[in-house]
A = this chain, B = another copy of it.
Amino acid sequence: MADQDNPSETTAGAKGTAAIIDAIVFNDDGLVPAIAQQADSGEVLMLAWMDRAAVEETLKTGFAHYYSRSRGALWKKGESSGQVQALRDFRLDCDGDTVLLLVDQKGVACHTGRHNCFFRAPRDNGLGDIHPVITSPDQLYGKKDEDKGG
């Protein structure tokens, strides 16, 4: 059983990080989409975006960092809510334009308080809500709403 509070055993060294950065095809905005997947269960938690600094911080610290497009800033997942993602492995796809992070999610991944962000699905001729809220956003953020996943 992996310890959710401890960072990855698979963080890359300086050469590994350089090799990864070289292989990533960032888009015109300097970003790459990153899928976060719970390492043991395989649950897809969320998708966010990484810039070069987010990749470097993730590999250096062993905790998932992203680039917030709305705030225009580097963002450590869980910084305000405590719902951090400890990195278990870092994967890059065939053409280098998508990252897959295997993580141990502490608490819930979604800013709505659900365990993952993918809770809307076609049901009964409409859009259903198929996952329960586990932790209320107020509990996660107080009156702030800064640390959004998804």
Residues of A participating in the B interface, judged by any CB pair closer than 8 Å: 10-13, 15-17, 19-20, 23, 33, 35, 37, 41-44, 46-47, 59, 89-98, 100, 110-112, 114, 117-127, 130, 148-150
Contacts and interface: CB of A to CB of B under 8 A. Distances in A.
Contacts of A97: 150
A41 B42 contact: yes
Contacts of A37: 42, 44
Contacts of A44: 35, 37, 42, 44, 100
14 contacts: A15-B125, A16-B126, A16-B127, A23-B120, A33-B47, A41-B42, A42-B42, A46-B98, A89-B121, A92-B120, A92-B127, A93-B117, A94-B117, A98-B150
* Copies, count: 2
Nearest to A14: B125
A16 B93 contact: no
Contacts of A92: 118, 120-121, 127
Contacts of A12: 122, 125
A95 B47 CA distance: 11
A122 B47 contact: no
Contact of A20 (B23, B110, B114, B127): B127
A121 B37 CA distance: 15
A109 to B, nearest CB: 10
A31 to B, nearest CB: 11
